[in-house]
Amino acid sequence: MRYNSNNLEKAVAYYKKELKARVKKKHPVLIELDISNEKAFFSLAPLSRALHDLGADANVFVHDGESRMLNTLHRTWALNYELKHNRKSPASRALKEFIGAVQKKTKSKEFEKIFKAPDLELVAAKNGFIGDGTGLEFRDNWFKKFSWKQLLKTAEKILVQGYGIKKHERMSIGFELLPSKKQLELPLQDYLDSFSLAYTFALKASKLCRKVSMGAETPRMSQLEKMDRISDLAATILGCEYEKNISEPWFRAFKKISRAIESDKIEFADASFAVHGKGYGGKHFFGLKIGYPTPNKKSRWQSPGSMLLKPWWLVQTKHDSRPAKRRHAITETLPLENYIRTCNIDYFEMRKRDDEIRKILKKCAVLFVKGRKVKGGRTSLELDTTSLLNGKSPVLASDIEVNPSTPPEAAEIFKVKAGRYGNFPGGEVFFTPDKMNGTFVGDVVIAIDQSYIIGEKQPLVVKVKNGHYKIISGPKKILKAFNKRKREAWHLIKEMEKNKTLPKKIIASYKKNFDRVGEFAINTNPNARLSRYLIETEKLAKMMHIALGSGYEPDRETLYHCDIVLNNPRQKMNIFGTDKKGKEHWIIRNGKFVV
């Protein structure tokens, strides 16, 4: 443990003692601080652990002088207070009309609950957090700076090469809070490292672009849990502000309060970066029950995030003529050394190999993947790549995909105005397979609600027929988590179908793709190493990964995407394709690159 765990435990105990009488289970605590307040930021680790141990939710806003969203939330809570205390004004009447229109449509009074102000709000001052008669000391003495200069250099490499960030742009950064002891499955140090990772990223971004904000909230351990009410309200406001000129009762009503709550002053981030740990964001009431329509009313978005990003693989994107508002990338709660080693690289150099692999795949009509026999069986796959050969499907890469200088191949093929999405660390060439047959042996790691290690002695064995998969065998813990993910995803599909928040064609597509393979990828990051972290091992050069569930093409989406990594060197994998004339084109031979 590189940090002072004794001081961390003392800080958690201090915050729990001070807050025990003030917080309630599942009730949100709002925390606000300036990005320059380093002591406050690193005090968030024990403070969030204390809140989570007490069963409360935490919602954090970190800004560089002002948060317009936070200002809008305060105005909305004040307006709701007026409404609840019969203080009539044009704005409070408009809020009542907005809430009423949504509740009439959804036949539920659930919506009005998200407008309640947080139970406790803590604002970071010079020497501690203060709020509503509560004063808390900063407790950051658990923290010590490690590899600080390298972290700043890594952030700069990602921002300059990966994002191509510009001085006039706005950047938002999502980070992970410290889970309760019960929910902590990954090493504690990983979560503590992620505070340094996120903070140095913000510091470097503040030097390279116009405005930086950070945010975090308590994750949900199930896809079926509701979002905390602060996040739910913020998402509703963001989505409705963007949609306020749509001619539907709830949007017309929202437009009447937009100026009063100053949501019309909210600036959308041009680029965003998020650190993910275990869990999910939770169900967004408005998105799930009503949705955000495309301007032509032919489809609907389920969240403002996807609406602003406009991924090329979503059917909604082709119905939305508006340009994408942001580009987005994610990472995991990685150890600092893993993050630095895999992300502080020459992205343009890595792109050269990726392009060579892409060229080969575009030549081939069939792709073969064959390995030696290992525990559990033998990987032997045949993929029809005719759509790649004919230019009807894109061969994608994760390297500089969120840099606008990269040609938007997928957007051009599908003729959509799409946003950009990527991973850091980057390093993969991937596509959505159509006809795929055979068996594969996953023997490294799988991502479900977090990364799970797959042991060589008990691998995950999957059979594929015409692109549809069936898991033959695997570790009980992994199968249990995977089946839970699928059950919850199916429940959400049925709920959307019941609420009619999506066209029947999209619901049918979700169902059709539910048991399909969604991705085939060859990993290319030269600095990645074998580890327990999916986002690193799915980039480890010479290895490959296959995802079950959602694909990266329109009409190939469903509501889960689980990547499985295969150890190509161990399985002595051969990956090669044949063109229309039968000529072979090799990518990997006996587990080693020949490209």
> 274-287 pLDDT, tens per residue?
999 999 999 999 99
In a domain, 322, yes or no: no
Mean pLDDT of all residues in 556-575: 97
pLDDT confidence of residue 576: 98
In a domain, 513, yes or no: yes
- pLDDT at position 568 over 90: yes
Could you tell me the pLDDT band of residue 72, with boundaries at 50, 70 and 90? very high
Residues 274 and 411 in one domain: no
- Listed range (177-186, 331-340, 417-426) with the worst mean pLDDT: 177-186
Final residue in a domain of this structure, among 245, 265, 290: 290
Q: Which distant-in-sequence residues (6+ apart) come within 8 Å of 481 by Cβ?
A: 448, 449, 452
- Residue 422 bridge partners (DSSP): 329
pLDDT confidence of residue 26: 86
- Residue 562 bridge partners (DSSP): 548
Contact predicate 343/529, CB 8 Å: no
Tens digit of each residue's pLDDT (9 = 90 or more) over 447-500: 999 999 999 999 999 999 999 999 999 999 999 999 999 999 999 999 999 999
- Listed range (84-88, 375-379, 420-424) with the worst mean pLDDT: 84-88
CA distance 528 to 539: 6
Q: Choose between 197 and 86: higher pLDDT.
A: 197
- pLDDT at position 144 over 90: yes
- pLDDT at position 331 over 90: yes
In a domain, 362, yes or no: yes
Residues 361 and 263 in one domain: no
pLDDT confidence of residue 87: 87
Mean pLDDT of all residues in 35-62: 98
Could you tell me the pLDDT band of residue 241, with boundaries at 50, 70 and 90? very high
Residues 476 and 562 in one domain: yes
- pLDDT at position 248 over 90: yes
Residues 397 and 261 in one domain: no
Mean pLDDT of all residues in 433-443: 97
Residues 273 and 163 in one domain: yes
Residues 270 and 359 in one domain: no
Q: Which of 131, 136, 135, 119 is nearest to 25 (CA)?
A: 119
- pLDDT at position 558 over 90: yes
Final residue in a domain of this structure, among 290, 313, 334: 290
- pLDDT at position 86 over 90: no
Cis check: omega of the bond before 459, within 30 degrees of 0: no
Residues 420 and 556 in one domain: yes
Mean pLDDT of all residues in 295-309: 96
Between strands 120-124 and 28-34, the pairing is parallel
Instruction: Quote the domain boundaries for residue 513.
Output: 346-593
In a domain, 372, yes or no: yes
Residues 488 and 355 in one domain: yes
Final residue in a domain of this structure, among 290, 312, 338: 290
Residues 164 and 84 in one domain: yes
pLDDT confidence of residue 134: 84
Neighbouring C-alpha atoms within 13 Å toward the C-beta of 155: 27
Mean pLDDT of all residues in 505-517: 97
Tens digit of each residue's pLDDT (9 = 90 or more) over 441-454: 999 999 999 999 99
Give Cα 78 to chain centroid, integer Å: 31
Residues 281 and 358 in one domain: no
Residues 285 and 356 in one domain: no
Q: For the chain, what is the mean pLDDT? A: 96
